[in-house]
Each structure stands twice: as structure tokens, then as C-alpha cells.
Chains A and B, each alone.
Chain A
Amino acid sequence: MLDGKLGSTKVGVLTITDEEFTAAKRIFKLRFNFPLSPYFANKKLAAGPYDIVVRQASDRTNTPAMRATNAFIEDFRPAFIFLVGTAGGVLKKQKKGRDGTVLGDVIAADFIDYTEFVKLHGRQSLLRKIPHDHPSLYIRENIAGPSRDSTDWHAWIGVKRPGRDLGRPRVIIGNVAAGEKILSSPSSSYQKDVVTKFDKALAFETESFGVAHQVFCARKSVHYNPQFFVVRGLSDFVNSREAETARKNWTPYAASAALAFARLIIEKLVADSSI
């Protein structure tokens, strides 16, 4: 593994909001803060690479996520970069979202769409593209996919599931769409347009493009081939009238579910000494 400016780690985990980072600290048992830095590990090592280092981005949206990813790569050169947190699903019918998702479910991304780069041409809004990576096929095929039916990670959630529903979170693999606006208004024509245009997206959020683009930009060396992965817990349905309330109630659980599943994948990665 390559050394960064502060050390090296096999896995780097990036979270965004305070709720997500609080859950990450608990689930990954982060007790050591690298001095004068945003990085945490479970303990200080005298030498050698860390298994997992976690940090929080300075803010929401893609630009801070991009900066945090860039700094992570410069400081630790993680072989695997995870973006873990919450996102909004899309309500279809009977309290269920696309692909039958419900609040608290975990989306493991197989594709990232950036929703914001458009050309407004007459009445049309034409999509434009900016290059970026997509979530690691290796992780999806070899670890996340086969672990979908596992319940081993449920015990790590550690937060009471809201409401009366006693269900358990499922893992669904699918598209994630990232923009710059937090979607939370069913009546907004912009939101309707985005949700319709990205009809396969199971979750909408505001950071995975930043991470994906920065990983793409980091591919400047023959010695460094970072893999990244996005895990999102559904905290609300963006097109529901109760989106705000749901997000408030479900965020701690959804964040913890995403981090718990991420931990399962990461532990398998860390345990594999061949990687």
C-alpha cells in the first residue's frame, strides 16, 4: 500500500452529516483522532498501515465531498474509499419506494448519476456529462452482492427502528443520483423533472458525484488504483409530503444501518490479506 502524507490505510470511510459521523464513531469504535486533523481510527498504531480511517466532510454537497476525498487520498492513499450515509428514496405506492424499498433500507450503489449538469435550451433541459468513476465492481460482485442476505450486521445498528414497523433493513443494489439540491418538495417542478429523468435511481443525495469525480481525478498514477463504494440508508422519500418529518425521525436509524452494512463489507475487505 502507498503512503500518504499522514500514513496509509486500506479503507477510508467518508461521512457527511453529524448524525452519520456519530454513528460511524460508534459502529467503527473510533477512539483515536489523528492530531490536528479530521481523521479517526479505532486506535493509534506505532507503525504500519491502518485498516480503517474515517473522516467527516466539512459540509454537505459535492464540492466539500470532493475536497474531503482529495485530502483523504493525499493524506492516507486508501485502497478503498467508502461514502456512507443517508439519502432520499422515491415513493411509488403504499409507502414503498422504487424496487420495493422502505425507509431504513440500505442502497449499495452500482452506478452514480450526476443530475445537475444540464444545458437549458429553449424549454428543454439537456443532460451534460462530467467524467467520474462508478462504484467498484469488485466490491459489489465479491462482497456487497453476496452479503445482501446476511443479517450479521443488524446487531451493529444499535439504534431503535422508528415507528411500529418491526421490519429489518434490506440491502438493495441500484443506481444513486447526486445533485446539489436536497430534494424534499413533492410540488417542485425541478424535483419532479429530476426524479422523472432519473427513473432508475433508488436514492437521491448530494455527495457521491463529488467522491466519484475525485476518485476519477486521482487516477494519475500507475501505482494507485483506488476503488470506491457508496452505501446509503434511506431516511425519507423525497416525493412524500412527510419527507421532512420522516427524515428527522429516520436519519439516525438509516445512517446507522448504512454504516453497519458498510462495516460488514469493510471487515471482509480488511480480513482478506490478498488485497
Chain B
Amino acid sequence: MTGPNLVQQVDVLRQSVEAYLDSSRELEPTPSFAYSVGWFENYESLFQGEASTTTGIEAISDLAISTGRVLISGKGGGAKTVVIRRLMRQCLKEKTVPAVLDLKKWTSLQYQEWKTLVGSVVRMDYLLANLGPKQFSVMQLDSLPLNIKRLIFVDGLNEVTQGFGQEIIETIDEYAQLAVLTGIVVADRMARRTFIDEKRWRIASIAPLTADEIRQQLTHKFGDTALFDAADADTRALLSSPYFLNSLLRDGTPTAHTSSGTIHNYFVQHVSLSEPEIDVAGGAAYFAYKSFRSRSFPIDDFRKAVGNKVTNKLIDAKALLIAGTLASFDHHLKHDFLASRHAVKVGDWSPEVLGVLTFDASSFDALFMSLQQMTSSDDADDLIKNIYNWNPYGAAYALTDGGSQGRTLVSSEMQIVIITMLAERQWDLMKATQTKAKDALRLFPKTEVQRFLHASRLEELFPIVNSVSIKQRWFHEWKRLFTQKGKVAARDADVKQILNEDSLLGWTAANVLKRLPVPERSQVLLRKLIRKQDKTVRWRIVHVLGSFPTKKNLSLLFDRLDRDGYHWVRYGATRSLVEMAALGSDQIRQQIFAGIAKRAKALSRDEKSLREFGSAILIEQKRAPKNWVARLAPVIETFYNVESSFEKREQWRQMAFRLKGEYESRI
């Protein structure tokens, strides 16, 4: 079919994309930079920075069409959006229709609507209708003539919360399988996603700008390269980020040693905000994240909070872009900086605040910028502890992302502690935890983590920890606590460390107790404490008890799963129940799985706990009991039966098959 209507349709679609691009030209650096793209075999090689080949950016479109799906993974400011826009413009010159899903436009309302949608076509239609030029729909893209290729660009998967990001990628993945002549390009932060079939994805990362390219751009703008030649390594590293080089060339922002310092310079020098004005804007930026869980927010609310003067300065400087009643910053790093500035000022690093800053652990730029703004080593260490307490992997990102490595006041002892505690997770019972820990470790420079990654068991970490030269006094106590393993029962004092307000010692105690014999009287104490203690301590206690499969612990875990108001405690209880089922007798195993089956309906409404159950049951094969699949089968069947939609049922069926495949030899 290539009638005049279809030809017209193609033109309408292409024109709408052109208009979309032209309406936000300021997002594209002028003059444009020369980019190259590294291609990676898998996530492991991506995290280690080991590209198998390097190409120009045009290979992204070619590969997306020929293989179906390309993921561009990279840090904030790495030009993912710029490259996507350039590829879209290239499509317009060729016989390809580009479509874009700009996740920066995602709003809190859409979180609610999304939940009601079932099926990949319906969800894809929703994304097309809400996040790009309005003209697109699945049916329309499909009905285009067969001599027209379609390329769908998904910009900023990290702009939405982690759970929704995963659901969006599942939708796209399913759509890509069957969409005719269609390629998908997704831009995401440097974090592992789960795909239907990982082999179907090509993983790319935009390489930092080369020194030659930076020099060429500086010469073009300033007539020489003196600025680059005189810069220290930190500043040079920042200039290799397209965002910061562009900020210098276009806005005249002096590049500082850190990203937060440079963005601060931008607001002071380019936008002409005073320090108090930046604080006010910071507050409004934070509350926009908190209220809307989105990069877009109502301009009227923002104006009300910061006043006309500051709002107008931001709009005039093109830092704030307006689309109808909504506004967003031209780059999320600016919004992240302002939100982090507010968080630093308030000094509240509760899990709720960290969740707001990161879109529930989806985007960590605000965290490393917070860390960069700490003015003492103690404060920086405290922040890292709080981040670890909330999300261990977040601590790794905060320490390494955005050029933070070595440019914060975090003590070397604290860095070793974080690395060591992540390294211990390599031997976790659950495979997903092992993978995430290794991914996080690979974010650090190889020289710093190689020993940890090469260790084959926990005890091999002890000499590394013991060899650290110590300046911080607290490290002695942490080291004593962490390096315990063996048959000697946990001391009462160490059991009580689980109550420690210092999250690092509290979680270290919880992890250590899991590997020591804990006498029944101490377990009685832990079970009693759970009724009184704060939510984090409750989480630690359910974490510990998973290692001690007894009827009393089992009933306490079920009690928490049924009644605890804090979702992380229920999550921890779910995980510990699975652990207990793996470690305990067959009788305990049967009781646990029968108990979970009984709660299948309630669990299917507790998203976090349910997702953790699905992930936790995939334990390390060699540690799985022989009847693991046989005992799990009735639970899976119950979850299958309580779901009413075919799609959700299908997920459980796929899970059953996966379990069979992974543990079959042990049946």
C-alpha cells in the first residue's frame, strides 16, 4: 500500500518530528562535536569500559534497524540526548520515519495511568501519544509503506523511577520483537536492565570527547587551547564530557574541578543568580521532584515558590524550558544540582529524601553532586553511610559517577568499607544480588577493585581490609566487626550492634551475624527487639533471621510480611523467607512455600515484595536444595492462578520454565 494518503501520512509524521526538534534547538550544542561510539559485548564489558569496537554514531541507526534494539548507556552529560537528536535529523534526510519518546515529559499522572494499561501495544500507544509528537500511534507506524523504515528513539529511561523504567523497557522489548521494519534506540544511565533476551540488544556508549576534539573546539571559540593545556586532570576530565564543554563554549561557564562546582558557576555567572537565589531555586527544584516524581513540573508552582525574578532569569538564560503549563530544565544535571543543593542545606539524608533525589534509585547524579558539595570528610563519610543504608549500589554510583572518584572528601577508609561490603555480596545466595554487586564494583577503577573481584571467598577479603593504613578511628571497630567468621558464637555486644544508629555498623553487624552462630537467646532478643525498634532496625533483624531456619523465626518473618508498614521490611522478610527455605529442612521449606502460596493474593498487590520473591527464588544453582523446583512449583502455580490477566500469568509460566531450566539437573 503506497497510496497518496500514506505518502501524506509519512510527510505529516516527518514534519511533526522536525517541528519537535526545532522547538528545542538549544539542546544541541553549536558547533556540534565529533562523537564516537563504543560497542560492548555485554553489561560486564560495559562496566569495565572494555569496548569490542568503536564506530561513528551513524552505526547506531544502522544496527537498530538490522538487529532491532540498541541501548546507549552512559553517564549524565555524556551527550545521549544530543546524539539521539542528531540521529533523528539524519533520519529526516533519509527514507526513515523517526519517532521519539521523551521520558523527561513523564509526569506523576502518567504513573497512575500506566498502571491501568495492559499489553505491549496498548502501552506503546500510550508512550507514543504522551511522550513525543502527538501524531504517532502503533497502528499508524505499522501501516506505513514497506519501503519506509521506522526508528523509535527512547530518550532518558533514567528519567522515571526504576520500576517504571523496567516496565517501559519490557514494553519496548516486546514491541521490538514484532514491529515491522522497526529499530529501537534507548538511552539509559549506566545500570543493568533486564531484557527478554539480552542477546537481542546491542549495547553502546558514547565515548568521552578526545583531547584533539576538545582542543579543536577551544581553538575555534577562543583562538587557542591555553585553558585546556593549563587545566588539571579533574578539569580536563570534565571537559571531555560534552555537556560541560558545551557549557563552557556556549555559556562561558568556567569549568571547575567537579560537576556540581561547574553547574554552580553556571547559575552564578550565566544566570546571574545570587547564593540565596540559588538556595530558593534549589528548594523549588527539590519539591518539584518530590511532588511530581518527574523532570517536568507546573511552571506556576515553581514561579510561586521562587518568585518572578528568579524564574525569569532562568527562562531568559534558557535553563528553564516551558512547554504549555509545564517547565523542565534544559538538562537534568541542572535540576539535580539544585535539588542536591537543597538536600545538602537541609542535611536530611533519610531514605525518603534519597528516593526523591534519585527517582527511587533510577538516576544517581544528584547523589554524587551532593557528595561533591560536602565540606568535611566526616560529612562526606556520613552521607555515604546514609546512601549505603538506603541502597548499597547507590553508594558505589555516588563514589564513582560524574567524575566524583577522588574529587570528594570521602575518606579512603570509607571507600574501602563500601567496596568490601559490596564485595561480600558476590557470594550472596541470590544470583541477582551477586550480579548487582559485581556491576557496582566494576564502576570503580580496576586497580582499586581487582583484588576484591578476584577473591574467591569471603576470608580472602580479610587480609585486604587488614592491610589498610588507618587514619579514621571508627575503622578499627568496623574492621573488628567485619572480619569475624567461624564457629565462635556472636558476642552479645555484637548482636546489639544491630541497633547501632550508625548505619554502617548496624548493617555490618547484620551481615556478620548471618555468617556466625547466633545462640537461641540472642535470636530471642532479636525477635523481641523487632516490636520496638525503628523501621531500619526491623529491616536489619529480618535480614539476619533469614539465616536461621527455625519455626519461631519463620513465624516472625511471616508476621512482618503480613503486618509491617515499612515496605523495605516486608521486602527483607520476603527475601529472608526464601533464604530460609533454601537453607532449612524440607519441612521448613514446605511450610514457607505453603505460607507464601497462602498469601499469594496479598503479595500480588505488594509490588516490591512480589518482585523480590521472583528474583530471590533464583538462587545459586550449586546451593539449591535438590527439590527446589518441586517445592516451588505449587507456589508458582498459585501465583499463576491468582493473576487474572493473561500477561501476568504468562510471566509466572515463564518463571516456571526458567526454574525448570536452571535447576532441572538437581530435581
Contact = CB atoms under 8 A, between A and B. Distances in A.
Interface of A: 2-3, 5, 59, 61, 63-64, 70-71, 73-74, 130-131, 217-218, 220-224
Contacts of A131: 646
B180 interface: yes
A63 B142 contact: no
B653 A221 contact: no
Given A5-B67, A63-B654, A218 B178 contact: yes
Given A5-B68, A63-B653, A74 B178 contact: yes
Grouping DSSP codes into helix (H, G, I), strand (E, B) and loop, the A interface class, with mixed when no group exceeds half, is: loop
Contacts of A217: 178
Contact of A74 (B146, B177, B654, B656): B177
Q: Max chain A CB contacts within 10 Å: which of B180, B654, B656? A: B180
B661 interface: yes
Nearest to A58: B661
A223 to B, nearest CB: 5
Given A2-B180, A220-B121, A220-B142, A64 B657 contact: yes
Contact of B178 (A64, A130, A220, A222): A220
B349 to A, nearest CB: 45
B139 to A, nearest CB: 8
Contact of B142 (A5, A59, A223): A223
B143 interface: yes
Contacts of A71: 197
A186 B653 CA distance: 27
Given A5-B66, A5-B67, A221 B178 contact: yes
Nearest to B141: A221
Q: Max chain B CB contacts within 10 Å: which of A3, A217, A218? A: A217
A61 B657 contact: yes
B179 A221 contact: yes
A31 to B, nearest CB: 25
Contacts of B657: 59, 61, 63-64
Given A63-B657, A220-B121, A221-B179, 15 more contacts: A5-B68, A59-B661, A64-B657, A73-B177, A73-B178, A74-B178, A131-B646, A220-B142, A220-B179, A221-B142, A222-B1, A222-B143, A223-B146, A224-B178, A224-B180
Contacts of A130: 646
Q: Max chain B CB contacts within 10 Å: which of A3, A70, A221? A: A221
B198 to A, nearest CB: 14
Grouping DSSP codes into helix (H, G, I), strand (E, B) and loop, the B interface class, with mixed when no group exceeds half, is: helix
A206 to B, nearest CB: 12
A118 B537 CA distance: 45
A222 B68 contact: no
Q: Max chain B CB contacts within 10 Å: which of A59, A70, A218, A220? A: A220
Interface string B130-149: 00000000100011001000
B300 to A, nearest CB: 41
Nearest to B661: A59
Interface residues of B, number: 22
Contacts of A70: 177
20 contacts: A59-B657, A59-B661, A63-B654, A63-B656, A70-B177, A71-B197, A73-B177, A74-B68, A74-B200, A130-B646, A131-B646, A217-B178, A218-B178, A220-B179, A221-B142, A221-B178, A222-B1, A223-B142, A223-B180, A224-B178
A127 B147 CA distance: 45
Contacts of B178: 73-74, 217-218, 220-221, 224
Interface in B599-655: 646, 653-654
A268 to B, nearest CB: 27
Contacts of B67: 5
Nearest to A70: B177
Nearest to A131: B646
A73 B68 CA distance: 13
A217 B119 CA distance: 11
Ranked 10 nearest A-B pairs via Cβ:
A63-B657, A221-B180, A74-B177, A221-B142, A223-B180, A220-B178, A222-B143, A218-B178, A5-B68, A63-B653
B182 to A, nearest CB: 10
A227 B64 CA distance: 28
A207 B287 CA distance: 54
Q: Max chain A CB contacts within 10 Å: which of B179, B181, B653, B657? A: B657
Contacts of A2: 146, 180-181
A157 to B, nearest CB: 33
Nearest to B144: A223
Contacts of B661: 59
A2 B657 CA distance: 31
A178 to B, nearest CB: 14
A2 B142 CA distance: 13
Interface string B97-122: 00000000000000000000000010
Nearest to B66: A5
Contacts of A63: 653-654, 656-657
Interface in B32-80: 66-68
